[in-house]
Amino acid sequence: MDTCYRHPGRETGISCTRCDRPICPDCMISASVGYQCPECVRGAPAAVPRNIAGGALTTGDPHLVTKILIGINVAVFLAVLANPALALDLGLLGRYAEYLGGPVEGVSSGQYYRLLTSVFLHQEWWHIASNMLGLWVIGGPLEAALGRARYLTVYLLSGLAGSALVYLLTPPNLATLGASGAIFGLFGATAVLMRRLKYDMRPVGVMLVLMLAMTFIPEGVSWQAHIGGLVAGAVMGAGMVRPAPVAPSPAAHRNRAAAQWSACALVFCASAAIILLRTAELTP
């Protein structure tokens, strides 16, 4: 076990969320997420409190974006109940023609919006109930830790990555929908965050095993969306919660932000490459 950098004889499993140095209970100073060491607290600008991702803390409801996302999902679910044709119009569909020579529908025909609109679609009450419960339990704390902009980026890009893998690996005439890819992305980012803070990973490991079992055992579940979202979320999470410099400065914060958005850009470019590859394969 690591020992406190200020008290070498004391073992500890906690580290400073800014500089990542191990600290004992006497050196822990509570922060918005986790704990910080005395040096980082003294060196941090008092006027700009920051979260673990380095973003400035926002005022107001810390779960605002999560509530908005849940509201959008519920509104779209009610719209689909009122007009079931929306599920086919907005769902993820690779390439489909109702009859020979008829109009072609799907992502490969240029309807790229389906890759994201499908992330907000649900047709069964149990499907949206389970996804929204997961979004509230996992998303709320993660939004408070990362900040609104970073959190929303992880959600949307995880959903896009999950849709890209579905588009690549499923039959083009098979329609899929649901927010599971985006929520698995939040789970991947949460696992990285907990590892970064050196929290007990056993509960996360058990939950991950159960979620993956529910991905592969039942029929009709899109494992591609789950795996794509999980990997994307973990990659972005690793970029978001990388340790802050020991001596924070405006330039250091800019460099850290550049690294974080580079991780997001990597996920976006990889998803775009998969989408373009599959489109070229399906387009005559």
The percent of residues in the chain predicted with pLDDT above 70, rounded, is 84
Coil, strand or helix: which one is 87? Answer: helix
pLDDT of residue 235: 95
Model-wide pTM > 0.75: yes
The length of the chain in residues reads: 284
- Structural domain includes residue 104: yes
Whether the pLDDT of residue 257 is over 60: the answer is yes
Taking only the tens place, the pLDDT of each residue in 175-214 is 899 899 999 999 999 988 888 877 777 777 777 777 766 6
Domain shared by 15 and 73, yes or no: no
- Structural domain includes residue 15: yes
Domain range spanning residue 89?
A: 64-282
pLDDT of residue 273: 97
Taking only the tens place, the pLDDT of each residue in 132-141 is 988 998 898 8
Domain total of the chain: 2
Domain shared by 33 and 160, yes or no: no
pLDDT of residue 44: 58
DSSP alpha helices (H): ranges in the chain? 38-43, 64-82, 85-90, 114-117, 125-134, 140-146, 148-169, 180-196, 202-216, 223-240, 250-282
Mean pLDDT of the chain: 84
Residue 29: its H or E element: strand 29-30
